Amino acid sequence: MSSAQSKRPLQSAKCGALVGDVRVPGDKSISHRSLMFGGLAEGETRITGLLEGEDVLATADAMRKLGAKVTRDEDGTWHVRGVGVGALREPDSVIDMGNAGTGIRLLAGIVATHPITTFFTGDASLCKRPMGRVADPLAQFGAKFVTRDQGRPPMAVIGTDEALPITYTLPMASAQVKSAVLLAGLNTAGTTTVIEPKPSRDHTERMLRHFGVEVDVQVNDDGGRTISLTGPCTMTAADIVVPTDPSSAAFPLVAALINPESKVTIRDVCLNPLRTGLITTLIEMGGDITITNEREEAGETIGDLVVTGKNRLKGITVPAERAPSMIDEYPVLAVAAAYAEGETRMCDLAELRVKESDRLAAVAAGLAANGVIHRIEGDDLIVTGGVVPGGGLVETHLDHRIAMSFLVLGIGAEKPVKVDDAAPIATSFPVFEEMMAGLGTSFAPSNR
Ligand code: S3P
């Protein structure tokens, strides 16, 4: 795991056209879920295309500690022999989730309705993040939580074997909270219901069905969704092909758009409609993006993105409703906005404050360090594009997406952009530097 001792400064300098054909690693959200659901199912689940980043490897270890048998073949195929819903074993040591917010929150849901006590910890970033958003609804099932001040990990979950089903309206758009509640419902007699006022990524719903769980999804008059399942559920092992991660594809995508002579193809990108807000936004900004070869694979829409830098991007207003479908992409959108003509307003980014870092503050600080005009009004971020002076040092705060976004900023800046620590990139995109170098970027170790 990344730590202060192993900080790895990196800089990114202006480069020529980016050209190439790439395939980014597997989707992080789907990878976490495939290991967890495989571990809960009866039988053996085979997973191909799994993201082998630090976050997902932490989930693999956690599932082993909870009793599942998790192995990897030399060719990268993973096998999970599940224990069955209700049969997880009490871990005999603390589970270290590293940097993984999705990992800790979804697992909290799973163990909350098993009669075991589980201790979780994580890195300095995870230990600052709020767990109250899952602990509150999970306590209504009957589980008990012990956390540090303000609901921060380390966290103990004392699960219940007499869980009561709940109906829960999400106070924020969060697929993690929705998933934690639904997963607690798997081992709860009766119907568990989650009402989400704004739809968030639905990988949990889709994958639970793939494992044989009946999940009812109703679209509400206000556009929100009501999702329910009735437990106790039996899950049956099912093979998973993990599509590639649109949140990782975002980096070569924006890099190509802001670099005029570029032409890049990004293959097999997961185009789940609840994940494509960035593509919609960049097309609205005038970006030349063509989706080809669109098809369905393993319950998800995937396609290839052909991107060129021929159109100069234009500033737009990105509506608040779109936020859940591109929540992880705002840092790199802010980078695109720094090169766009005019002002880009990104509305209602409150949730960015509780990610791997306070991303609103980290993005603003990174833009300021590199001479990009911007302001924060309430929860909106407004960026004025133009020539990017660069020359600044960006603090990444153990946040992979801050590191990758500002390395992308550097590819068109007048002076190199430095990030203080590229090590966290390994949490979600271990081959980022290699892949970007293959396209023609100029990244180099930096002495800060
Ligand atoms: C995720 C949900 C999102 C996202 C995170 C992955 C998931 O978090 O930011 O990277 O896999 O469910 P929130 O639920 O906090 O919005």
Specify the residue for token string 């479908």: 325
**Kind plus residue range of the DSSP H or E element containing 444:** strand 442-445
User: Is 61 an active-site residue?
Assistant: no
Confidence class for position 448, pLDDT limits 50, 70, 90:
low
**Is there a binding annotation on residue 101?**
yes
Establish whether residue 255 lines the binding site of ligand 1, counting it when its CB lies within 6 angstroms of any ligand atom.
no
pLDDT digits (tens, 9 = 90+) for 367-410: 999 999 999 999 999 999 999 999 999 999 999 999 999 999 99
- Tell me the mean pLDDT in the region 439-447: 94
324 CA to middle of ligand 1, Å? 9
> Ligand 1 within 6 A of 176 CB?
yes
pLDDT of residue 1: 46
Which is the closest atom of ligand 1 to the Cα of 28? 11
Output the CA angle 67-68-69, nearest 5 degrees. Answer: 120
Question: Is 272 near ligand 1, meaning CB less than 6 Å away?
Answer: no
Tell me whether the CATH fold assigned to 10-26+243-445 matches the one assigned to 28-241. Answer: yes
The C-alpha atoms of residue 122 and residue 370 are separated, in whole angstroms, by 31
Which DSSP helix (H) or strand (E) runs through 72? strand 69-72
Q: Which of 96, 123, 245, 328 is catalytic?
A: 328
Residue 181 confidence (pLDDT): 99
Q: What is the pTM of this model?
A: 0.97
Whole-number Å distance, alpha carbon 29 to ligand 1 midpoint, is 7
Q: 10-26+243-445, which class in CATH?
A: alpha beta
What one-letter code names the amino acid at 100? A
Tokens 């570029």 correspond to 262
Residue holding tokens 């994958």?
207
Per-domain residue ranges of the chain: 10-26+243-445, 28-241
Token code pair at residue 293: 């070869």
pLDDT of residue 2 exceeding 60, the answer is no
Beta strands in 366-446 (DSSP E): 373-377, 380-384, 393-394, 417-419, 442-445
Task: Name the CATH architecture for the domain at 28-241.
Answer: Alpha-beta prism (3.65)
pLDDT in the model for residue 3: 45
Query: Which band of pLDDT confidence, cut at 50, 70 and 90, is reported for residue 447?
Result: confident
pLDDT in tens, 134-178: 999 999 999 999 999 999 999 999 999 999 999 999 999 999 999
